[in-house]
Amino acid sequence: MDDMSQAKLLEVSHLRIAFRRDGRQVVPVRDVSFSVPEHGRVALVGESGCGKSLTALSLAGLPPIDRAEVGGSISFTPIEGRSPRLAYVFQNPTESLNPVMRVRDQIREALPDGLSRRAGDDRIVELLARTGLPDPVRAASSFPCELSGGQQQRAMIAMALAAQPDLLVADEPTTALDVTTQREVLDLMDSLAAETGMAVLLITHNLGLVAGRMDTVNVMYAGTVVESGPVVEVLADPRHPYTQGLLAAVPALDAPRDAPLADIPGTVPPPDAWPPGCAFAPRCSLATDRCRSEIPAETRCGARSLACLLRQV
């Protein structure tokens, strides 16, 4: 549900991230605005290289790139007089977990201060059990290499939950997993969000993953949001040619197994080679000379927004 009356937990306004390389300014995030309501479920969707992960990292105040200049604003609404807590789940649990520490000790580092060792151990097993791991006691005493990829991602989610987050940022959390485990991990995040009330910001290249899970989707291309709105509306009636291409690339469940998948021609250019005008123009079948010289401004109508010179929101 995209409820404009819901209190905003996070508001990102005209975020811009720039850095210098070989004497030139590179701007991988050009102008990104979106919000996450309390208890909301919001997705950032786009191919690799569109600036989604840099945007997500900047939320924690982490300098996403050495000596980056960050402009615009990122603001959190305090909860009960304190700053909201953030937790991250990243794409590859094998790289995110410390290979030489037992899972128990890694989760312990995320627990609130003041718990006795015994209470901490009990809490760790409880958190692992909540993620559906069949033997949480064994998982707690395991090293990451003793767990499967799906089990490692569940351990990462347990670690994120240990911080009692108000906002869980899940950056391509299932990309490294097989299809069945992907669904299980996403279902787990859904049920934990419903249970704990935490908001979720899901970052994914797969527009198909947001259906039925997220309330609002922001489609990013070349460092900016090109379309946004309630998931049900955007999926039923995508307006931006890039959103339409992403949606066409999602395999239909009832499609024949040998049916070819639609594809968006070309690839996302690197940020130091983004073309003038609409950055999507080289890949867009509708592009005109105007598209190649004029940057589309965002237009809004109700809860939807669009940045395209030829389409109306």
| Whole-number Å distance between alpha carbons of 204 and 52 | 8
Name the minimum Å distance from CB 279 to ligand SF4: 8
Name the minimum Å distance from CB 286 to ligand SF4: 4
Under 8 Å between Cβ of 55 and 72: no
Residues 227-266 contacting ligand SF4, CB under 6 A: 240-241
Residues 152-191 contacting ligand SF4, CB under 6 A: none
Place of tokens 């995030």: 29
Our CB check for ligand SF4 shows the closer of 175 and 288 to be 288
Our CB check for ligand SF4 shows the closer of 145 and 286 to be 286
Count how many Cα atoms sit within 13 Å of the Cα of residue 36 in the half-sphere of its side chain: 28
Q: Which residues pair with 304 in a beta bridge?
A: 301
Place of tokens 């989707």: 217
Based on the shown chain and the rule CB under 6 A, indicate whether residue 128 belongs to the binding site for ligand SF4: no
Based on the shown chain and the rule CB under 6 A, indicate whether residue 308 belongs to the binding site for ligand SF4: yes
Under 8 Å between Cβ of 221 and 279: yes
What amino acid is encoded at 284 in this protein?
Answer: C
Among 40, 93, 238, 296, binds ligand SF4 (CB under 6 A): 296
Our CB check for ligand SF4 shows the closer of 180 and 285 to be 285
Name the minimum Å distance from CB 215 to ligand SF4: 25
Among 161, 309, 312, 313, binds ligand SF4 (CB under 6 A): 309
* The total number of residues written for the chain in this structure: 313
Residues 274-293 contacting ligand SF4, CB under 6 A: 278, 280-281, 284, 286-287, 291
Name the minimum Å distance from CB 274 to ligand SF4: 12
Name the minimum Å distance from CB 283 to ligand SF4: 8
Residues whose CB is less than 8 angstroms from the CB of residue 148 and which lie 6 or more positions away in sequence, other chains included: none
Residue 297 CA: distances (Å) to CA of 70, 74, 124, 246, 288: 21, 21, 48, 21, 16
Under 8 Å between Cβ of 151 and 139: yes
DSSP 224: E
Size of the site for ligand SF4 (CB under 6 A): 14
Binding interface with ligand SF4 (CB under 6 A): 240-241, 278, 280-281, 284, 286-287, 291, 296, 308-311
